[in-house]
Chain A
Amino acid sequence: MKPFAYTRPAEAADAVAEVAANPDAAYIGGGTNLVDHMKLGIAEPTSLVDVRDLLSHRVEKLPDGRIRVGAAVPNSDLAAHPEIREHYPVLSQALLAGASGQLRNAATTGGNLLQRTRCVYFQNRAMPCNKREPGTGCAAIEGYGRYNAVLGASEHCVATHPSDMAVALTALGAQVRVLGPSGERTIDLPGLHRLPGDTPQRDTILEHGDLITAVDLPRLPLAARSAYRKVRDRASYAFALVSVAAALRVVDGTVEDVRVAFGGLAHAPWRAHRAEEELRGGPATEEAFRDAARAELADAETGPGNAFKVPMAVNTLAATLRDLSTEETS
Protein backbone atom coordinates (compact mmCIF):
# COMPACT_ATOMS: atom_id res chain seq x y z
CA MET A 1 0.00 0.00 0.00
CA LYS A 2 1.24 3.47 -0.85
CA PRO A 3 1.87 5.85 2.05
CA PHE A 4 -0.88 8.40 2.56
CA ALA A 5 -1.61 11.47 4.64
CA TYR A 6 -4.70 11.31 6.84
CA THR A 7 -6.81 14.32 7.84
CA ARG A 8 -10.12 14.72 9.55
CA PRO A 9 -11.38 18.25 8.85
CA ALA A 10 -14.25 19.70 10.88
CA GLU A 11 -15.87 21.61 8.02
CA ALA A 12 -17.27 20.20 4.79
CA ALA A 13 -15.89 23.13 2.77
CA ASP A 14 -12.35 22.38 3.99
CA ALA A 15 -12.71 18.72 3.05
CA VAL A 16 -13.93 19.61 -0.45
CA ALA A 17 -11.08 22.10 -0.94
CA GLU A 18 -8.56 19.51 0.19
CA VAL A 19 -9.77 16.74 -2.10
CA ALA A 20 -10.42 19.05 -5.06
CA ALA A 21 -6.83 20.34 -4.87
CA ASN A 22 -5.23 16.89 -5.08
CA PRO A 23 -6.20 14.47 -7.87
CA ASP A 24 -4.91 11.58 -5.74
CA ALA A 25 -6.91 12.45 -2.62
CA ALA A 26 -10.03 10.53 -1.60
CA TYR A 27 -12.77 10.85 0.98
CA ILE A 28 -13.12 8.01 3.43
CA GLY A 29 -16.26 7.07 5.35
CA GLY A 30 -16.49 3.70 7.08
CA GLY A 31 -13.63 2.47 4.91
CA THR A 32 -15.21 -0.95 4.32
CA ASN A 33 -14.82 -0.63 0.55
CA LEU A 34 -11.92 1.80 0.19
CA VAL A 35 -9.58 0.12 2.69
CA ASP A 36 -10.24 -3.20 0.94
CA HIS A 37 -9.35 -1.61 -2.41
CA MET A 38 -6.19 -0.06 -0.98
CA LYS A 39 -5.11 -3.49 0.26
CA LEU A 40 -5.82 -4.96 -3.17
CA GLY A 41 -3.80 -2.18 -4.80
CA ILE A 42 -6.73 -1.04 -6.93
CA ALA A 43 -7.03 2.32 -5.15
CA GLU A 44 -3.89 4.27 -4.32
CA PRO A 45 -4.82 7.58 -2.72
CA THR A 46 -1.95 9.67 -1.35
CA SER A 47 -4.27 11.54 0.96
CA LEU A 48 -7.35 10.37 2.84
CA VAL A 49 -9.89 12.90 4.05
CA ASP A 50 -12.07 11.35 6.75
CA VAL A 51 -15.56 12.81 6.50
CA ARG A 52 -17.32 11.06 9.36
CA ASP A 53 -17.04 14.05 11.74
CA LEU A 54 -18.18 16.77 9.39
CA LEU A 55 -21.18 14.98 7.88
CA SER A 56 -24.52 14.60 9.60
CA HIS A 57 -25.20 11.40 11.56
CA ARG A 58 -28.89 12.22 11.81
CA VAL A 59 -32.08 11.05 10.16
CA GLU A 60 -34.39 14.07 10.33
CA LYS A 61 -37.86 14.95 9.16
CA LEU A 62 -37.98 18.14 7.10
CA PRO A 63 -40.90 20.59 7.45
CA ASP A 64 -42.32 19.47 4.08
CA GLY A 65 -42.45 15.82 5.19
CA ARG A 66 -39.33 14.60 3.42
CA ILE A 67 -36.70 12.67 5.36
CA ARG A 68 -33.08 13.81 5.27
CA VAL A 69 -30.49 11.11 5.90
CA GLY A 70 -27.04 12.48 6.78
CA ALA A 71 -24.27 10.97 4.66
CA ALA A 72 -22.48 9.70 7.79
CA VAL A 73 -25.50 7.75 9.10
CA PRO A 74 -24.31 4.14 9.43
CA ASN A 75 -26.21 1.55 7.38
CA SER A 76 -27.34 -0.28 10.52
CA ASP A 77 -28.77 2.84 12.17
CA LEU A 78 -30.64 3.77 9.02
CA ALA A 79 -32.11 0.27 8.71
CA ALA A 80 -33.25 0.33 12.35
CA HIS A 81 -34.65 3.87 12.35
CA PRO A 82 -38.36 3.80 13.33
CA GLU A 83 -39.35 6.31 10.65
CA ILE A 84 -37.68 4.20 7.93
CA ARG A 85 -39.10 0.90 9.19
CA GLU A 86 -42.58 2.36 9.28
CA HIS A 87 -42.72 4.50 6.14
CA TYR A 88 -39.98 3.11 3.87
CA PRO A 89 -39.70 -0.63 4.70
CA VAL A 90 -38.08 -1.30 1.32
CA LEU A 91 -35.07 0.73 2.45
CA SER A 92 -34.71 -1.06 5.80
CA GLN A 93 -35.01 -4.41 4.07
CA ALA A 94 -32.46 -3.53 1.38
CA LEU A 95 -29.92 -2.42 3.96
CA LEU A 96 -30.51 -5.51 6.09
CA ALA A 97 -30.04 -7.74 3.05
CA GLY A 98 -26.54 -6.34 2.51
CA ALA A 99 -23.17 -7.25 4.01
CA SER A 100 -23.04 -8.28 7.71
CA GLY A 101 -23.91 -6.73 11.06
CA GLN A 102 -20.30 -5.66 11.62
CA LEU A 103 -19.97 -4.07 8.17
CA ARG A 104 -23.32 -2.27 8.41
CA ASN A 105 -22.23 -0.76 11.72
CA ALA A 106 -19.22 0.82 10.01
CA ALA A 107 -20.54 1.57 6.51
CA THR A 108 -21.94 5.05 5.86
CA THR A 109 -24.82 6.17 3.64
CA GLY A 110 -22.46 8.16 1.38
CA GLY A 111 -19.90 5.38 1.11
CA ASN A 112 -22.55 2.76 0.40
CA LEU A 113 -23.81 4.72 -2.61
CA LEU A 114 -20.28 5.00 -3.99
CA GLN A 115 -19.09 1.44 -3.37
CA ARG A 116 -17.57 0.01 -6.52
CA THR A 117 -18.43 -3.12 -8.48
CA ARG A 118 -17.56 -6.56 -7.11
CA CYS A 119 -16.52 -7.77 -10.60
CA VAL A 120 -13.77 -10.27 -9.80
CA TYR A 121 -11.54 -8.97 -12.59
CA PHE A 122 -11.86 -5.39 -11.39
CA GLN A 123 -10.61 -6.59 -8.01
CA ASN A 124 -7.63 -8.45 -9.47
CA ARG A 125 -4.78 -6.27 -10.68
CA ALA A 126 -3.36 -9.09 -12.80
CA MET A 127 -6.40 -9.06 -15.12
CA PRO A 128 -7.34 -6.65 -17.88
CA CYS A 129 -10.15 -4.32 -16.86
CA ASN A 130 -11.34 -1.15 -18.57
CA LYS A 131 -12.83 0.19 -15.38
CA ARG A 132 -9.59 -0.08 -13.42
CA GLU A 133 -7.22 0.60 -16.33
CA PRO A 134 -9.01 2.10 -19.33
CA GLY A 135 -8.00 0.57 -22.63
CA THR A 136 -6.78 -2.77 -21.29
CA GLY A 137 -9.91 -4.68 -22.23
CA CYS A 138 -12.64 -6.44 -20.27
CA ALA A 139 -11.84 -9.87 -18.86
CA ALA A 140 -15.42 -10.46 -17.76
CA ILE A 141 -16.95 -10.56 -21.25
CA GLU A 142 -15.30 -13.89 -22.08
CA GLY A 143 -14.68 -14.90 -18.46
CA TYR A 144 -16.71 -15.69 -15.35
CA GLY A 145 -20.05 -14.19 -16.24
CA ARG A 146 -22.44 -15.07 -13.44
CA TYR A 147 -22.66 -11.52 -12.13
CA ASN A 148 -22.48 -9.74 -15.49
CA ALA A 149 -25.03 -7.11 -16.50
CA VAL A 150 -27.90 -7.98 -18.83
CA LEU A 151 -29.21 -4.42 -19.36
CA GLY A 152 -27.33 -1.32 -20.49
CA ALA A 153 -23.89 -2.93 -20.70
CA SER A 154 -21.32 -1.99 -23.33
CA GLU A 155 -18.54 -3.77 -25.19
CA HIS A 156 -16.18 -2.05 -22.74
CA CYS A 157 -17.70 -3.17 -19.43
CA VAL A 158 -20.40 -5.59 -18.28
CA ALA A 159 -20.11 -4.98 -14.52
CA THR A 160 -23.07 -4.61 -12.17
CA HIS A 161 -23.58 -2.14 -9.35
CA PRO A 162 -23.41 -3.96 -6.01
CA SER A 163 -25.33 -1.76 -3.56
CA ASP A 164 -28.66 -3.03 -2.23
CA MET A 165 -29.45 0.30 -0.56
CA ALA A 166 -29.09 2.16 -3.85
CA VAL A 167 -31.74 -0.05 -5.48
CA ALA A 168 -34.26 0.85 -2.77
CA LEU A 169 -33.35 4.55 -2.97
CA THR A 170 -33.83 4.38 -6.75
CA ALA A 171 -37.31 2.90 -6.43
CA LEU A 172 -38.17 5.64 -3.93
CA GLY A 173 -36.81 8.37 -6.21
CA ALA A 174 -34.49 9.74 -3.53
CA GLN A 175 -32.31 12.81 -4.04
CA VAL A 176 -28.60 12.89 -3.34
CA ARG A 177 -27.23 16.16 -1.97
CA VAL A 178 -23.74 17.00 -3.12
CA LEU A 179 -21.27 19.69 -2.13
CA GLY A 180 -18.65 20.32 -4.80
CA PRO A 181 -15.91 22.86 -5.45
CA SER A 182 -18.48 25.14 -7.09
CA GLY A 183 -21.27 24.75 -4.54
CA GLU A 184 -24.24 22.57 -3.66
CA ARG A 185 -26.52 20.63 -5.95
CA THR A 186 -28.96 17.73 -5.82
CA ILE A 187 -29.09 14.66 -8.05
CA ASP A 188 -32.31 12.69 -8.52
CA LEU A 189 -31.79 8.93 -8.42
CA PRO A 190 -31.23 6.98 -10.60
CA GLY A 191 -29.25 9.88 -12.10
CA LEU A 192 -26.17 9.40 -9.91
CA HIS A 193 -24.85 6.14 -11.35
CA ARG A 194 -24.17 5.88 -15.06
CA LEU A 195 -24.07 3.17 -17.69
CA PRO A 196 -20.53 2.19 -18.74
CA GLY A 197 -20.55 3.29 -22.41
CA ASP A 198 -16.97 3.87 -23.47
CA THR A 199 -15.91 5.35 -20.11
CA PRO A 200 -16.50 2.52 -17.63
CA GLN A 201 -13.87 4.03 -15.30
CA ARG A 202 -16.58 6.47 -14.26
CA ASP A 203 -19.19 4.83 -12.01
CA THR A 204 -21.17 8.02 -11.43
CA ILE A 205 -21.65 11.54 -12.76
CA LEU A 206 -19.77 12.99 -9.78
CA GLU A 207 -16.61 15.01 -10.38
CA HIS A 208 -13.46 14.69 -8.32
CA GLY A 209 -13.99 16.61 -5.09
CA ASP A 210 -17.77 16.16 -4.98
CA LEU A 211 -18.87 15.26 -1.45
CA ILE A 212 -22.18 13.52 -0.75
CA THR A 213 -23.66 15.30 2.26
CA ALA A 214 -27.12 13.75 2.55
CA VAL A 215 -29.84 11.71 0.90
CA ASP A 216 -33.41 13.05 0.88
CA LEU A 217 -36.35 10.66 0.77
CA PRO A 218 -39.50 12.08 -0.80
CA ARG A 219 -42.77 12.05 1.08
CA LEU A 220 -44.25 8.95 -0.53
CA PRO A 221 -47.27 7.33 1.18
CA LEU A 222 -47.06 4.55 -1.42
CA ALA A 223 -43.77 3.43 0.15
CA ALA A 224 -45.48 2.33 3.36
CA ARG A 225 -46.28 -0.86 1.42
CA SER A 226 -42.97 -1.68 -0.14
CA ALA A 227 -40.45 -4.50 -0.07
CA TYR A 228 -36.98 -5.60 -1.13
CA ARG A 229 -36.35 -9.09 -2.40
CA LYS A 230 -32.80 -10.31 -3.02
CA VAL A 231 -31.75 -13.53 -4.75
CA ARG A 232 -28.22 -14.74 -4.08
CA ASP A 233 -26.06 -17.84 -4.00
CA ARG A 234 -26.21 -18.12 -0.18
CA ALA A 235 -29.08 -17.42 2.18
CA SER A 236 -27.13 -14.56 3.76
CA TYR A 237 -23.99 -12.46 3.40
CA ALA A 238 -23.65 -12.50 -0.38
CA PHE A 239 -24.14 -9.97 -3.14
CA ALA A 240 -27.29 -10.02 -5.26
CA LEU A 241 -27.60 -11.99 -8.44
CA VAL A 242 -30.91 -10.22 -8.95
CA SER A 243 -32.87 -8.00 -6.61
CA VAL A 244 -36.11 -6.06 -6.71
CA ALA A 245 -37.24 -3.02 -4.77
CA ALA A 246 -40.93 -2.32 -5.19
CA ALA A 247 -43.83 -0.34 -3.77
CA LEU A 248 -47.40 -1.08 -4.73
CA ARG A 249 -50.91 0.25 -4.19
CA VAL A 250 -53.82 -1.87 -5.36
CA VAL A 251 -57.42 -0.66 -5.23
CA ASP A 252 -60.22 -3.07 -6.12
CA GLY A 253 -57.86 -5.39 -7.93
CA THR A 254 -56.33 -2.59 -10.02
CA VAL A 255 -52.78 -1.31 -9.73
CA GLU A 256 -53.21 2.31 -8.76
CA ASP A 257 -49.55 3.12 -8.30
CA VAL A 258 -46.30 1.21 -8.40
CA ARG A 259 -42.55 1.75 -8.17
CA VAL A 260 -39.99 -0.81 -9.27
CA ALA A 261 -36.20 -0.89 -9.40
CA PHE A 262 -33.91 -3.83 -10.15
CA GLY A 263 -30.48 -4.59 -8.75
CA GLY A 264 -27.93 -6.99 -10.20
CA LEU A 265 -28.95 -6.35 -13.79
CA ALA A 266 -26.93 -3.30 -14.79
CA HIS A 267 -24.03 -0.96 -14.13
CA ALA A 268 -26.49 1.22 -12.21
CA PRO A 269 -29.59 0.52 -10.13
CA TRP A 270 -32.31 0.07 -12.76
CA ARG A 271 -35.57 1.97 -12.38
CA ALA A 272 -38.13 -0.07 -14.30
CA HIS A 273 -40.18 2.70 -15.90
CA ARG A 274 -41.42 0.46 -18.67
CA ALA A 275 -42.76 -2.15 -16.23
CA GLU A 276 -44.34 0.55 -14.10
CA GLU A 277 -46.19 1.97 -17.11
CA GLU A 278 -47.44 -1.47 -18.11
CA LEU A 279 -48.72 -2.11 -14.60
CA ARG A 280 -50.37 1.21 -13.74
CA GLY A 281 -54.12 1.02 -14.21
CA GLY A 282 -54.01 -2.68 -15.05
CA PRO A 283 -55.07 -5.77 -13.10
CA ALA A 284 -52.99 -6.80 -10.08
CA THR A 285 -52.54 -10.36 -11.29
CA GLU A 286 -49.54 -12.64 -11.44
CA GLU A 287 -49.85 -12.68 -15.22
CA ALA A 288 -49.76 -8.89 -15.45
CA PHE A 289 -46.75 -8.78 -13.11
CA ARG A 290 -44.90 -11.24 -15.33
CA ASP A 291 -45.82 -9.43 -18.54
CA ALA A 292 -44.57 -6.15 -17.12
CA ALA A 293 -41.29 -7.71 -16.01
CA ARG A 294 -40.83 -9.28 -19.46
CA ALA A 295 -41.45 -5.92 -21.09
CA GLU A 296 -38.75 -4.34 -18.93
CA LEU A 297 -36.30 -7.09 -19.86
CA ALA A 298 -37.16 -7.15 -23.57
CA ASP A 299 -33.80 -5.60 -24.50
CA ALA A 300 -31.74 -7.85 -22.22
CA GLU A 301 -28.52 -9.19 -23.73
CA THR A 302 -27.15 -12.31 -22.12
CA GLY A 303 -24.32 -14.79 -22.40
CA PRO A 304 -24.05 -18.39 -21.16
CA GLY A 305 -23.01 -17.25 -17.67
CA ASN A 306 -25.88 -14.90 -16.97
CA ALA A 307 -28.84 -15.95 -19.14
CA PHE A 308 -30.54 -17.19 -15.97
CA LYS A 309 -30.90 -13.60 -14.81
CA VAL A 310 -33.77 -12.83 -17.19
CA PRO A 311 -36.23 -15.48 -15.91
CA MET A 312 -34.91 -14.85 -12.41
CA ALA A 313 -35.72 -11.14 -12.68
CA VAL A 314 -39.21 -11.92 -14.01
CA ASN A 315 -39.89 -14.39 -11.20
CA THR A 316 -38.47 -12.09 -8.54
CA LEU A 317 -40.54 -9.10 -9.61
CA ALA A 318 -43.68 -11.25 -9.86
CA ALA A 319 -43.09 -12.71 -6.40
CA THR A 320 -42.41 -9.30 -4.85
CA LEU A 321 -45.55 -7.74 -6.32
CA ARG A 322 -47.63 -10.81 -5.46
CA ASP A 323 -46.57 -10.57 -1.82
CA LEU A 324 -47.28 -6.83 -1.74
CA SER A 325 -50.71 -7.26 -3.33
CA THR A 326 -51.80 -10.09 -1.05
CA GLU A 327 -50.62 -8.14 1.99
CA GLU A 328 -52.92 -5.42 0.71
CA THR A 329 -56.08 -7.49 0.74
CA SER A 330 -55.39 -9.32 4.01
Chain B
Amino acid sequence: MEATITLHVDGEKRELTVDTRTTLLDALRDRLGNTSPKKGCDHGQCGSCTVLLEGRRVVSCLTFAVAHDGATVTTAAGLAGEDQLHPVARAFVDHDGFQCGYCTPGQVCSAVGMLEEAGADWPSHVTEDLRAPVTLDDAEIRERMSGNLCRCGAYVNIVAAIREASR
Protein backbone atom coordinates (compact mmCIF):
# COMPACT_ATOMS: atom_id res chain seq x y z
CA MET B 1 0.00 0.00 0.00
CA GLU B 2 1.26 3.44 -0.87
CA ALA B 3 1.02 6.88 0.61
CA THR B 4 2.20 10.29 -0.51
CA ILE B 5 4.02 12.24 2.16
CA THR B 6 6.06 15.41 2.54
CA LEU B 7 9.33 15.50 4.46
CA HIS B 8 11.42 18.59 5.14
CA VAL B 9 14.90 17.11 4.87
CA ASP B 10 17.97 19.23 5.61
CA GLY B 11 16.04 22.39 4.75
CA GLU B 12 14.46 21.11 1.55
CA LYS B 13 10.83 20.24 1.11
CA ARG B 14 10.52 16.82 -0.51
CA GLU B 15 7.33 15.12 -1.62
CA LEU B 16 7.41 11.38 -2.21
CA THR B 17 5.16 8.37 -2.59
CA VAL B 18 6.23 5.47 -0.41
CA ASP B 19 5.12 1.93 0.24
CA THR B 20 3.89 2.01 3.85
CA ARG B 21 6.60 -0.57 4.67
CA THR B 22 9.41 1.91 3.92
CA THR B 23 11.33 2.95 7.01
CA LEU B 24 12.37 6.56 7.44
CA LEU B 25 15.96 5.40 6.92
CA ASP B 26 15.18 3.71 3.60
CA ALA B 27 13.11 6.69 2.46
CA LEU B 28 16.05 9.02 3.12
CA ARG B 29 18.68 6.82 1.55
CA ASP B 30 16.95 4.97 -1.28
CA ARG B 31 14.22 7.38 -2.24
CA LEU B 32 15.71 10.78 -1.52
CA GLY B 33 19.35 9.92 -2.16
CA ASN B 34 20.48 11.19 1.23
CA THR B 35 23.06 8.59 2.23
CA SER B 36 24.26 10.46 5.30
CA PRO B 37 22.37 8.23 7.77
CA LYS B 38 23.85 4.72 7.58
CA LYS B 39 22.26 1.32 7.88
CA GLY B 40 24.25 -0.71 10.39
CA CYS B 41 21.97 -3.19 12.12
CA ASP B 42 18.49 -2.11 10.92
CA HIS B 43 17.15 -3.10 14.37
CA GLY B 44 17.71 -0.07 16.58
CA GLN B 45 20.87 -1.44 18.14
CA CYS B 46 23.78 0.51 16.64
CA GLY B 47 22.71 4.14 16.21
CA SER B 48 24.36 4.62 12.81
CA CYS B 49 21.00 5.66 11.31
CA THR B 50 20.48 8.44 13.89
CA VAL B 51 18.83 11.62 12.58
CA LEU B 52 17.19 14.59 14.26
CA LEU B 53 13.42 14.31 13.87
CA GLU B 54 11.72 17.56 14.83
CA GLY B 55 15.03 18.33 16.56
CA ARG B 56 15.17 15.14 18.65
CA ARG B 57 17.62 12.33 18.03
CA VAL B 58 15.98 9.07 17.01
CA VAL B 59 16.99 5.95 15.11
CA SER B 60 15.46 6.16 11.64
CA CYS B 61 15.41 2.38 11.07
CA LEU B 62 12.65 1.61 13.57
CA THR B 63 10.01 3.97 12.28
CA PHE B 64 7.99 4.05 9.08
CA ALA B 65 8.30 7.10 6.82
CA VAL B 66 4.52 7.25 6.48
CA ALA B 67 4.29 8.05 10.21
CA HIS B 68 6.17 11.32 9.66
CA ASP B 69 4.21 13.17 7.00
CA GLY B 70 5.09 16.88 7.29
CA ALA B 71 8.01 16.30 9.66
CA THR B 72 11.37 18.06 9.71
CA VAL B 73 14.34 15.72 9.46
CA THR B 74 17.96 16.79 9.85
CA THR B 75 20.74 14.40 8.88
CA ALA B 76 24.43 14.92 9.59
CA ALA B 77 24.79 16.30 6.05
CA GLY B 78 22.22 18.99 6.84
CA LEU B 79 23.96 20.16 10.00
CA ALA B 80 26.73 21.91 8.10
CA GLY B 81 26.52 25.62 7.34
CA GLU B 82 27.24 27.26 3.93
CA ASP B 83 30.89 26.34 3.77
CA GLN B 84 31.82 25.26 7.24
CA LEU B 85 31.22 22.17 9.33
CA HIS B 86 28.89 22.09 12.30
CA PRO B 87 30.95 22.61 15.48
CA VAL B 88 30.32 19.01 16.58
CA ALA B 89 31.44 17.62 13.21
CA ARG B 90 34.46 19.97 13.35
CA ALA B 91 35.39 18.59 16.77
CA PHE B 92 35.18 15.02 15.42
CA VAL B 93 37.68 15.99 12.70
CA ASP B 94 39.97 17.84 15.11
CA HIS B 95 40.05 14.92 17.56
CA ASP B 96 40.14 12.04 15.08
CA GLY B 97 36.77 10.91 16.40
CA PHE B 98 36.51 8.22 13.73
CA GLN B 99 38.44 5.73 11.67
CA CYS B 100 36.37 4.28 8.82
CA GLY B 101 33.68 6.91 9.33
CA TYR B 102 30.70 4.62 8.91
CA CYS B 103 29.21 5.35 12.32
CA THR B 104 30.17 9.03 12.23
CA PRO B 105 27.03 10.68 10.77
CA GLY B 106 24.98 8.86 13.39
CA GLN B 107 27.45 9.77 16.14
CA VAL B 108 27.39 13.44 15.12
CA CYS B 109 23.57 13.66 14.99
CA SER B 110 23.34 11.81 18.28
CA ALA B 111 25.89 14.14 19.91
CA VAL B 112 24.02 17.23 18.68
CA GLY B 113 20.74 15.88 20.08
CA MET B 114 22.44 14.78 23.28
CA LEU B 115 24.00 18.21 23.90
CA GLU B 116 20.52 19.74 23.64
CA GLU B 117 19.18 17.21 26.14
CA ALA B 118 22.00 17.84 28.59
CA GLY B 119 21.57 21.58 28.06
CA ALA B 120 17.95 21.18 29.15
CA ASP B 121 19.27 19.39 32.27
CA TRP B 122 17.80 16.02 31.38
CA PRO B 123 19.40 13.52 33.74
CA SER B 124 21.02 10.27 32.59
CA HIS B 125 21.56 6.83 34.11
CA VAL B 126 24.84 8.02 35.67
CA THR B 127 23.54 11.31 37.06
CA GLU B 128 23.94 11.10 40.85
CA ASP B 129 21.46 13.78 41.85
CA LEU B 130 18.37 13.79 39.65
CA ARG B 131 17.50 17.29 40.82
CA ALA B 132 20.84 19.00 40.19
CA PRO B 133 21.89 20.66 36.94
CA VAL B 134 23.83 18.37 34.61
CA THR B 135 27.63 18.49 34.52
CA LEU B 136 28.70 16.85 31.29
CA ASP B 137 31.78 14.91 32.42
CA ASP B 138 33.22 11.94 30.51
CA ALA B 139 31.07 9.40 32.33
CA GLU B 140 27.97 11.37 31.36
CA ILE B 141 29.10 11.64 27.73
CA ARG B 142 29.77 7.91 27.52
CA GLU B 143 26.45 6.95 29.04
CA ARG B 144 24.46 9.37 26.90
CA MET B 145 26.23 8.18 23.73
CA SER B 146 25.88 4.47 24.53
CA GLY B 147 23.27 4.06 21.79
CA ASN B 148 25.96 4.68 19.14
CA LEU B 149 28.34 1.82 18.51
CA CYS B 150 31.66 2.20 16.69
CA ARG B 151 33.12 -0.99 15.28
CA CYS B 152 36.48 0.76 14.84
CA GLY B 153 36.50 1.54 18.55
CA ALA B 154 37.16 5.25 18.15
CA TYR B 155 35.37 5.87 21.44
CA VAL B 156 38.20 7.62 23.27
CA ASN B 157 38.43 10.29 20.59
CA ILE B 158 34.68 10.51 20.17
CA VAL B 159 34.40 11.38 23.86
CA ALA B 160 37.20 13.93 23.49
CA ALA B 161 35.44 15.51 20.50
CA ILE B 162 32.13 15.78 22.30
CA ARG B 163 33.81 17.10 25.44
CA GLU B 164 35.30 19.90 23.37
CA ALA B 165 32.06 20.59 21.48
CA SER B 166 30.17 20.84 24.76
CA ARG B 167 32.29 23.72 25.99
Query: How far is B40's CA from A176's CA once the two chains are assembled, in angstroms?
Result: 36
Name the B residues within 8 Å of A97 (CB-CB).
Answer: 125
Q: Any chain B CB within 8 A of the CB of A89?
A: yes
Give the number of residues in A that approach B within 8 Å (Cβ atoms).
Answer: 36
Name the B residues within 8 Å of A106 (CB-CB).
Answer: 58-59, 62-63
Name the B residues within 8 Å of A31 (CB-CB).
Answer: 62-64, 67
Give the number of residues in B that approach A within 8 Å (Cβ atoms).
Answer: 41
Q: Any chain A CB within 8 A of the CB of B27?
A: no
Known interface pairs A30-B63, A39-B43, A92-B130. Does A3 touch B147 (Cβ–Cβ under 8 Å)?
no
B1, B3, B147: the one contacting A102 at CB < 8 Å is: B147
Task: Say which one of B76-84, B91-99, B110-118, B156-164 lies at the interface with A.
Answer: B110-118
Name the A residues within 8 Å of B87 (CB-CB).
Answer: none
Within 15-31 of B, Cβ neighbours of A (below 8 Å) are at 19-21, 23
Q: From B20, B62, B120, B122, name the one whose CB has the most chain A CB atoms within 10 angstroms.
A: B62
Query: How far is B127's CA from A5's CA once the two chains are assembled, in angstroms?
Result: 42
Query: How far is B120's CA from A49's CA once the two chains are assembled, in angstroms?
Result: 32
User: In whole Å, how far is A75's beta carbon from the nearest beta carbon of chain B?
Assistant: 11
Task: Say which one of A78-86, A275-283, A311-319 lies at the interface with B.
Answer: A78-86
Name the B residues within 8 Å of A205 (CB-CB).
Answer: none
Q: Is the CB of B21 within 8 A of A1?
A: yes
Q: Any chain B CB within 8 A of the CB of A103?
A: yes
Q: Is the CB of B21 within 8 A of A3?
A: yes
Query: How far is B116's CA from A105's CA once the two chains are assembled, in angstroms?
Result: 13
Q: Interface code B124-167, partner A: CB below 8 Å = 1, 0 otherwise?
A: 11010011000000000011111110000000000000000000
Name the B residues within 8 Å of A102 (CB-CB).
Answer: 44, 47, 50, 57-59, 110, 113, 147
Q: Is the CB of B58 within 8 A of A36?
A: no
Q: Interface code B22-53, partner A: CB below 8 Å = 1, 0 otherwise?
A: 01000000000000000000111001001000
Name the A residues within 8 Å of B66 (CB-CB).
Answer: 6
Name the B residues within 8 Å of A30 (CB-CB).
Answer: 62-63
Name the A residues within 8 Å of B3 (CB-CB).
Answer: 6
B58, B125, B127: the one contacting A236 at CB < 8 Å is: B125
Name the A residues within 8 Å of B145 (CB-CB).
Answer: 101
A5, A96, A100: the one contacting B123 at CB < 8 Å is: A96
Q: Is the CB of A101 within 8 A of B110?
A: yes
Q: Is the CB of B20 within 8 A of A32?
A: no
Q: Is the CB of A80 within 8 A of B122?
A: yes
Q: Is the CB of A6 within 8 A of B1?
A: yes
Within 77-130 of A, Cβ neighbours of B (below 8 Å) are at 79-80, 85-86, 89, 92-93, 96-97, 99-103, 105-106
Name the A residues within 8 Å of B131 (CB-CB).
Answer: 85-86
Q: Any chain A CB within 8 A of the CB of B56?
A: yes
Name the A residues within 8 Å of B123 (CB-CB).
Answer: 79-80, 85, 92, 96
Name the B residues within 8 Å of A86 (CB-CB).
Answer: 130-131
Q: Is the CB of A3 within 8 A of B44?
A: no
A52, A93, A103: the one contacting B125 at CB < 8 Å is: A93
Name the B residues within 8 Å of A93 (CB-CB).
Answer: 125, 130
Known interface pairs A5-B1, A6-B20. Does A50 touch B125 (Cβ–Cβ under 8 Å)?
no
User: In whole Å, how far is A326's beta carbon from the nearest beta carbon of chain B?
Assistant: 14
User: In whole Å, how far is A167's beta carbon from the nearest beta carbon of chain B?
Assistant: 15
Query: How far is B64's CA from A93's CA once the two chains are assembled, in angstroms?
Result: 29
Name the B residues within 8 Å of A32 (CB-CB).
Answer: 44, 59, 62-63
Query: How far is B122's CA from A79's CA once the two chains are assembled, in angstroms?
Result: 8
User: Which residue on B lies nearest to A237, using beta carbons?
Assistant: B146
Q: Any chain B CB within 8 A of the CB of A165?
A: no
Name the B residues within 8 Å of A79 (CB-CB).
Answer: 122-123
Q: Is the CB of A96 within 8 A of B125?
A: yes
Q: Is the CB of B62 within 8 A of A36?
A: yes
Q: Any chain B CB within 8 A of the CB of A187?
A: no
Query: How far is B130's CA from A85's CA once the two chains are assembled, in angstroms?
Result: 6
Q: Any chain B CB within 8 A of the CB of A325?
A: no
User: In whole Å, how far is A5's beta carbon from the nearest beta carbon of chain B?
Assistant: 5
Q: Is the CB of A103 within 8 A of B147?
A: yes
Name the B residues within 8 Å of A8 (CB-CB).
Answer: 67
Q: Which of B's residues lie within 8 Å of A, judged by CB?
A: 1, 3, 19-21, 23, 42-44, 47, 50, 56-59, 61-64, 66-67, 110, 113-114, 117, 120-125, 127, 130-131, 142-148
Q: List 11 A-B contacts (CB under 8 A).
A: A35-B23, A36-B43, A79-B122, A80-B117, A86-B130, A86-B131, A93-B130, A101-B110, A101-B113, A101-B117, A103-B59
List the 9 closest A-B pairs by CB distance, nearest first. Answer: A100-B147, A236-B146, A80-B122, A237-B146, A85-B130, A96-B125, A6-B20, A105-B56, A35-B62
